Amino acid sequence: KGKAALTETIERNIISFSGDTPVDDYNKWNNAEILMHEATFIREDPNINAKARGKHSRLDEVLKMVSEIKVDKLILHHFSVRYSNEEIVETIRKMCTEFKIQIPVYAVLPGQIHRDILEEQPVNR
């Protein structure tokens, strides 16, 4: 029966990683087992210039997107140092409730390094 009868191709999106990018095409991230997405800004701010804003995501945009697609785990990163770590965590928790996010959400806060973030307690639990 040949090689085709012995193998089956299975494609899975195990890890998706967002660098500096705005939230635009949800399909890029859909069905990711782990989505690592930047959330430079945690809220709308008229003092952020349009050029900088166009190259980054806002936390509410990322969480809205995640609430509308299938992702198993979310790791947020690349937060602006204009926010304190406490402010970031508090805002993530509030917005996870607002967007009814049920999956584990982790955060790499400014200045932090993690050896195995998925073994840590999610921010939203």
> pLDDT tens across 90-101, in order?
999 999 999 999
Angle at 98 (CA atoms; ends 96, 103), nearest 5 degrees: 30
Distance in angstroms (rounded) separating the CA atoms of residues 72 and 33:
5
82 pLDDT higher than 90:
yes
112-125 burial code (b ≥16 CB/10 A, e <16): eeeeebeeeebbbe
How far CA 102 is from CA of 6, 46, 95, in Å, comes to 39, 31, 12
Residue-averaged pLDDT of the chain: 93
Strand order in the sheet with 71-77: 13-17, 32-38, 71-77, 105-107
48 pLDDT higher than 70:
yes
pLDDT computed for residue 78 by the predictor:
96
pLDDT computed for residue 3 by the predictor:
76
pLDDT computed for residue 51 by the predictor:
66
Distance in angstroms (rounded) separating the CA atoms of residues 89 and 48:
21
pLDDT computed for residue 96 by the predictor:
98
Rounded average pLDDT over 42-51: 80
pTM of the model: 0.91
pLDDT computed for residue 44 by the predictor:
85
Number of H helices, E strands in the chain: 3, 4
